[in-house]
Structures are given as structure tokens and as C-alpha cells.
């Protein structure tokens, strides 16, 4: 009976499309793509600091993955994109109707192109999200917002790299 159950489970897994993350089997990158470069990133928001934070987070996340090498020039693939939006949504209020907890989201659209073939391998958009509580004053609230923006950028970079390397 146990052997039959094992066979049933194996057959179900074989037909459901399951694959372990990180295997790279569903990567949008062709097998010939071994290097990637971060090209032009645009910022369509009024938050100038998030652009450099995003570039750094993308490079750091791609390097930590180890399946593709990040280079400055002559890469096989080129990642370009634009920060499309920066939004804050109040979630909880104080008794004086002041926002106490907020959701911060940063939206980013991007493309990955095969440099030699001049072919778009992936065109997608993601949103990085982080939550924060307001402080007791303007400076404390601004510091909490800035820290949340960095977490949202890191979330964004994780999503971009997952889409590029794992197809998810």
C-alpha cells in the first residue's frame, strides 16, 4: 500500500510542473547568457535616492545568486528599467486620525535584452513593498520612511532577480 502511495505522489509531482527554485530551468535567459549588465535605470518619481539604492541592490542580489556574472561592459544580457511610482498608503490611525502605520510601495518596470541578438528576453514589472510606523516627530518619521524605502528596494531587487533567473 505504501509503495502505491509513493508512486501516486511521484506521478502527481511529475505532472504538476513542480521544480525546485534555483534550478534555473525556467530562466528567461538563454544558456548562452553568462553575463549581465545593469544598463540605464530611470526614476520617474520625486525620490532621487532610490535610484542608486536600486542599482546597488540589483547588483548585490545578482552577485549573491552566483548563476550569472555581473559585468560593466560587453555583457551577454542587459537589464534596463524605470522606477514608475512611489506610494504610501496609511493602514492604521491614531485617535487623532493621524496615520500611524503605512505601506510603502515602489513600482518598477524592466526589460532584459540579449545584447548580441538585440532581442527582448523579458519585459515585466514588479512592486517592492515595506511597512513602517510613524515616529514621534518629523525626523523620526522621515528616518522610518527612508528605512522602509530601502527595504522596499531590496524586495524589488529580489523580485526582479527571481523573474530573470527562475521565471517566477
Q: Against a cut of 0.85, is the pTM above it?
A: no
Query: What span, in angstroms and rounded, lies between the C-alpha atoms of 17 and 105?
Result: 31
Predicted confidence at residue 26, as pLDDT, reads 46
In which element (H, E) is residue 8 found? helix 2-15
Predicted confidence at residue 35, as pLDDT, reads 92
Q: Cβ neighbours of residue 52 under 8 Å, at least 6 residues apart?
A: none
Q: Which three cell numbers stand for residue 161?
A: 532577480
Query: What span, in angstroms and rounded, lies between the C-alpha atoms of 156 and 150?
Result: 10
Predicted confidence at residue 51, as pLDDT, reads 96
pLDDT tens sequence for the chain (168 residues): 565 554 444 445 444 444 444 444 446 677 778 999 999 999 999 999 999 999 999 999 999 988 899 998 889 999 999 999 999 999 999 888 889 999 999 999 999 999 888 899 999 999 999 999 998 899 999 999 999 999 999 999 999 999 999 877
Predicted confidence at residue 97, as pLDDT, reads 86
Predicted confidence at residue 19, as pLDDT, reads 42
Amino acid at each position: 500500500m505504501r509503495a502505491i502511495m509513493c508512486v501516486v505522489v511521484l506521478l502527481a509531482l511529475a505532472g504538476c510542473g513542480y521544480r525546485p527554485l534555483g534550478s534555473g530551468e525556467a530562466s528567461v535567459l538563454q544558456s548562452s547568457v553568462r553575463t549581465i549588465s545593469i544598463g540605464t535605470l530611470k526614476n520617474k518619481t520625486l525620490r532621487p535616492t532610490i535610484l542608486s539604492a536600486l542599482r546597488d541592490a540589483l547588483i548585490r542580489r545578482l552577485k549573491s545568486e552566483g548563476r550569472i556574472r555581473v559585468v560593466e561592459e560587453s555583457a551577454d544580457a542587459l537589464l534596463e528599467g524605470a522606477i514608475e511610482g512611489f506610494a504610501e498608503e496609511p493602514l492604521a490611525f491614531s485617535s487623532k486620525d493621524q496615520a500611524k502605520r503605512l505601506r510603502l510601495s515602489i513600482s518598477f518596470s524592466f526589460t532584459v535584452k540579449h545584447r548580441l541578438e538585440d532581442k527582448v528576453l523579458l519585459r515585466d514589472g514588479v512592486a517592492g513593498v515595506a511597512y513602517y510606523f510613524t515616529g514621534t516627530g518629523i525626523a523620526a518619521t522621515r528616518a522610518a520612511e527612508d528605512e522602509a524605502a530601502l527595504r522596499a528596494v531590496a524586495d524589488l531587487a529580489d523580485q526582479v532577480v527571481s523573474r530573470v533567473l527562475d521565471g517566477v
